[in-house]
């Protein structure tokens, strides 16, 4: 049992490591692809040769990042087979479909048009080359779409039926899988956040060039494009974040409760703007959950349900099964203990089906199938030992959400500042403090991006598939030692890849600062 726990923990740690490293590259790829396409569009429209040089400059940085991102993504997908084979068997027919489609976009559409984008400048007309560049921008976004569809399905499993004869899930509605509310919000949120991140990157690098007093004209032009793309990105990120909050409230209320450190919900629930979490707080006890709290009245009810008088359940409400009406009446709901019991009934019925199938007892198979269907929505709870096991790490989720929101607010102000300065106070662009604000914002936007990913993934623990499969049921039959070895191998490998990217980019920027990039 101890080795099982160790395998689960190390497998989770390994996947978190590789996913977070991979996510360092993905949003920059998505955003830079758009920015490069915008810049080349300006070149084609105006015919100014300097915009061709600017486009090629940022295209090179895109290419460096794109190559490293592909390498990390391939390793990440292999882990589903090596570390999470039970999961892959249980839902492979469903999960594999969007990944296969993503592979088509990545290896055919993206690869083809990326080659033309980099090497077709003198072989295609301006407009034909521009079309190829926009196809790259479209391709990387569509590639991200199918990865996010797969991830969103894990958080809101729809469009499938459990087949007891195969003991696995099979897809019965592709559209439901591809276009459920979680996947669409997650896709637009991720793409928009990529625009925001790349916009910050372009602003920061442009500020560095201005600080070095190198390629000043190109830096100012790039800064304006980056700021506008970043502004559109952060506004859309905030808007789609609101839609994501509504979706989470419907399909993952425990995640929302963890995000807020909320244990006992109420009608007209406030939103915690700032607070210090009590780490000793446990479900069911009488300790205070948050110290030094600054809250927005009715904020969480509005965020979750767009209704200031709506009830938002807390951790205790969900675990022990009760909520309040607008009139203050207590309403009994299904507790996690009851869900665990129904999950165990589903597992017992599945075992009975297997026995009946081996014996050829059709009547017993039919009876067991009925019992499975009735209790299958709670199948995963049958693997939990106690109700409290379904509560995610509250502190990590709580603080990561606030880091994401606070830096997001800062980025909105940052883009507005640089748009104002670039359009109406251009003389300010010679001030060193304004350069350093842009430079320092580069690591901040990555912290914001990583914090958002932590909220999405840590907040849904212990589930690999929401309500259907916890992590302890999804792992492969491997030893903890083998997972530990590969964990450290990947840690070293991915760190080297990140260091290589940073080194290559810095060398490229160092050379660019000594030459005219518009030539």
Mean pLDDT score of the chain: 88
Give residue 24's Cα distance to chain centre: 11
Contact 350, 164 (CB under 8 A): yes
Mean pLDDT over 296-314 rounds to: 88
Q: What is the pTM of this model?
A: 0.90
Sign of CA dihedral 336, 341, 346, 347: positive
Nearest to 213 by CA among 517, 514, 519: 514
Q: Which 8-state DSSP code applies to residue 269?
A: -
The predicted-structure confidence for 105-159, as pLDDT tens digits, reads as follows: 666 777 788 888 888 888 888 899 999 999 999 988 888 888 888 888 889 988 8
pLDDT at site 273: 86
The predicted-structure confidence for 166-191, as pLDDT tens digits, reads as follows: 888 888 888 888 888 888 888 899 99
Domain locations along the chain:
2-252+392-512, 256-274+284-332, 336-387
Residue 30: its H or E element: helix 2-46
Radius of gyration of the chain (CA): 25
Nearest to 160 by CA among 98, 95, 66: 95
Sign of CA dihedral 475, 477, 481, 485: negative
Strand ranges (E), 182-300: 271-277, 290-296
CA distance 323 to 88: 36
> Percentage of the chain with pLDDT > 70?
96
CA distance 386 to 94: 29
């Amino acid at each position: 049992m101890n080795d099982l726990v160790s395998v689960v923990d190390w497998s989770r740690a390994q996947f978190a490591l590789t996913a977070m490293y991979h996510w360092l590259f993905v949003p920059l790829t998505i955003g830079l692809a758009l920015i490069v396409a915008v810049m080349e569009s300006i070149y084609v429209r105006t015919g100014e040769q300097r915009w061709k040089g600017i486009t090629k400059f940022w295209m090179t940085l895109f290419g460096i990042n794109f190559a490293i991102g592909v390498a990390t993504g391939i390793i990440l997908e292999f882990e589903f087979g090596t570390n999470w084979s039970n999961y892959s068997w249980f839902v492979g027919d469903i999960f594999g479909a969007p990944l296969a489609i993503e592979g088509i976009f990545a290896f055919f559409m993206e690869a083809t048009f990326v080659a033309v984008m980099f090497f077709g400048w003198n072989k295609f007309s301006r407009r034909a080359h521009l079309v190829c560049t926009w196809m790259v921008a479209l391709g990387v976004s569509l590639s991200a779409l199918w990865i996010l569809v797969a991830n969103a399905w894990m958080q809101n499993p729809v469009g499938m039926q459990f087949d007891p004869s195969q003991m696995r899930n099979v897809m019965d509605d592709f559209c439901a899988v591809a276009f459920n509310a979680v996947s669409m919000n997650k896709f637009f949120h991720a793409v928009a956040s990529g625009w925001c991140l790349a916009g910050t990157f372009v602003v920061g690098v442009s500020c560095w060039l201005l600080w070095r007093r190198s390629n000043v004209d190109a830096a100012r032009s790039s800064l304006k494009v980056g700021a506008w793309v970043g502004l559109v990105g952060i506004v859309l990120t905030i808007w789609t974040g609101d839609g994501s909050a509504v979706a989470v409230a419907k399909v993952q209320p425990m995640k929302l409760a963890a995000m807020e450190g909320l244990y006992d919900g109420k009608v007209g629930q406030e939103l915690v703007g700032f607070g210090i979490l009590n780490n000793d707080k446990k479900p069911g006890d009488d300790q205070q959950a948050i110290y030094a709290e600054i809250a927005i009245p009715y904020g969480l009810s509005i965020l979750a349900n767009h209704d200031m008088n709506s009830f938002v359940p807390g951790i205790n409400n969900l675990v022990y099964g009760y909520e309040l009406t607008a009139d203050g009446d207590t309403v009994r709901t299904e507790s996690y203990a009851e869900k665990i019991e129904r999950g165990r009934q589903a597992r017992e019925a599945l075992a009975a089906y297997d026995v009946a199938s081996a014996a050829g007892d059709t009547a017993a198979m039919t009876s067991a199938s009925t019992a499975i269907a009735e209790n299958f929505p709670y199948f995963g709870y049958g693997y939990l030992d106690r109700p409290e096991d379904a509560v995610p790490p509250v502190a990590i989720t709580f603080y990561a959400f606030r880091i994401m929101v606070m830096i997001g607010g800062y980025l909105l102000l940052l883009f507005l500042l640089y748009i104002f300065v670039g359009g109406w106070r251009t003389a300010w662009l010679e001030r060193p403090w304004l350069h350093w604000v842009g430079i320092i914002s580069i690591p901040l936007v990555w912290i914001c991006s990583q914090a958002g990913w932590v909220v999405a993934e840590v907040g849904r623990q212990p589930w690999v598939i929401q309500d259907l499969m916890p992590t302890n049921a999804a792992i492969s039959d491997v030893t903890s030692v083998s997972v530990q070895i590969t964990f450290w191998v990947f840690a070293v490998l991915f760190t080297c890849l990140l260091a290589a990217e940073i080194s290559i980019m810095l060398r490229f920027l160092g050379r660019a600062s000594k030459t005219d990039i518009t030539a």
